[in-house]
Amino acid sequence: MNAVTDAEFDAQVLKSDKPVLVDFWAEWCGPCRQVAPILDEIASTHGDKITFLKMNVDENPVTPSNYRVTGIPTINVYQGGEVVKTIVGARPKAALLKELEDLV
């Protein structure tokens, strides 16, 4: 999954033609490390329908603050510049796919 920064967020996420899933994470977050390979798997299967990006909250504090990301991992799905789905906490692959089924 590609990384996105505060500086690129507007162009890469809010102005995207297709839905964008952003995984807000940090190096020290155990549950984030559990979710990362699951998201990579989902991205490899559904990357044509939805763009998958990740944002390190320690290196990019502005965007998480703007979207009130208080716990990680938080997964936000953006469509047309708006948050259309928020998933907080680690989930197994089946649960994530269920949450995302209307998008993928």
What's the CA gap between 78 and 101, in Å, rounded?
Answer: 15
pLDDT tens sequence across 18-55: 999 999 999 999 999 999 999 999 999 999 999 999 99
Tell me how far apart the alpha carbons of residues 96 and 39 are, in angstroms, rounded to a whole number: 9
| Segment 4-21 mean pLDDT | 97
Give the residue-averaged pLDDT of 48-66. 97
What is the spatial distance between Cα 71 and Cα 74, in angstroms, rounded to a whole number?
Answer: 6
Note the pTM of the prediction, 2 decimals. Answer: 0.96
**pLDDT, tens digit, for every residue of 78-98?**
999 999 999 999 999 999 999
Q: What counts of helices (H) and strands (E) characterise the chain?
A: 4, 5
Euclidean distance between CA atoms 84 and 13, whole angstroms: 13
DSSP letters, 79-100, are ETTEEEEEEES---HHHHHHHH
- The single-letter code of the amino acid at 6 is D
- Catalytic-role residue among 13, 29, 38, 96: 29
Mean residue pLDDT across the chain: 96
**Catalytic residue flag (residue 13):** no
Q: Is 67 among the residues known to form the active site?
A: no
Residue 80's pLDDT is 96
For residue 98, the one-letter residue type is K
- Sheet with 82-88, strands from edge to edge, namely 2-3, 51-56, 20-25, 74-79, 82-88
